[in-house]
Chains A and B, each alone.
Chain A
Amino acid sequence: EAEVAQSPRYKITEKSQAVAFWCDPISGHATLYWYRQILGQGPELLVQFQDESVVDDSQLPKDRFSAERLKGVDSTLKIQPAELGDSAMYLCASSLVATRSYNEQFFGPGTRLTVL
């Protein structure tokens, strides 16, 4: 069964360093989402792609975060420089297409980031 892949699964870094996370969505899924989940809270959408285009990045801290999906397939989320408050689980999800009638999202296992 096809699944969303993410790497690395765990990342420990020091503040002010750069980190990058990778996501490979389910084949054929046009929509890709990056979420941040702080311990004890629900996932918060950071950025949503439709193919290679950004549909929503209103909650992405653009001074330090960037995301790309150059060929409309896999995606990279980068943080530079990392801050202590960035410690969280970073989830990637994909869906066939984001429409009003069908929006089931399939989630990856997440990347657990710890910033020291």
Chain B
Amino acid sequence: AQRVTQPEKLLSVFKGAPVELKCNYSYSGSPELFWYVQYSRQRLQLLLRHISRESIKGFTADLNKGETSFHLKKPFAQEEDSAMYYCALSANAGKSTFGDGTTLTVKP
């Protein structure tokens, strides 16, 4: 069985502060991990995927297989980063499992 855990329902930081959204997973194979974001009144959309090793909007995420984690990080948070963030795991044939999300609020 595959599971994704996001331990923080709510996270609040000040503008310019570093931010880390935690994600832990359980899966017996080699997973693909993703972060999706939902801004206010917008659709859920892909932010980044571990296989691309890219930085999107200043966010990065490293897959740590030893700790089974895929934490999302940004060194300097901006107010426009305020949104709901979902970590997701994709197994063979594309079946995806989402975490319950973390609401990030960046205060001015």
Given contacts A55-B93, A95-B94, 11 further A-B contacts (CB under 8 A): A31-B94, A35-B98, A42-B86, A42-B101, A43-B86, A45-B95, A55-B94, A55-B95, A91-B44, A103-B32, A107-B45
Top-9 shortest CB links A-B: A98-B94, A42-B98, A107-B44, A42-B100, A43-B98, A107-B43, A103-B90, A104-B46, A41-B100
Chain A residues near B88 (CB-CB < 8 A): 42
Measured between beta carbons, the chain A residues less than 8 angstroms from B4 are 42
How many residue pairs between the two chains, A and B, have CB atoms under 8 Å in the bound complex?
Answer: 57
Encode contact with A along B24-36: 1 for CB under 8 Å, 0 otherwise: 0000000010100
Mark contacts of A43-56 with chain B using CB atoms, 8 A cut-off: 1 yes-contact digit, 0 otherwise: 11100100000011
Q: Is the CB of B51 closer than 8 A to any CB of chain A?
A: yes
In the complex formed, the residue of A with least CB distance to B101 is: A42
Tally chain A residues at the interface, Cβ within 8 Å.
28
Please report the C-alpha to C-alpha distance between residue A106 and residue B34 in the assembled complex, in whole angstroms: 13
B12 close to A (CB within 8 Å): no
Q: Which residues of B contact A101 (CB under 8 A)?
A: 51
Min CB gap A21→B, angstroms:
16
A104 closest partner in B (C-beta): B46
Q: B residues touching A (Cβ–Cβ < 8 Å)? A: 4, 9, 32, 34, 43-46, 49, 51, 86, 88, 90, 92-101
Contact A48 B95 (CB under 8 A): yes
B32 to chain A, nearest CB (A): 6
| Residue contact A43 to B51, C-beta cutoff 8 Å | no
Chain B residues with Cβ below 8 Å from A45 are 95-97
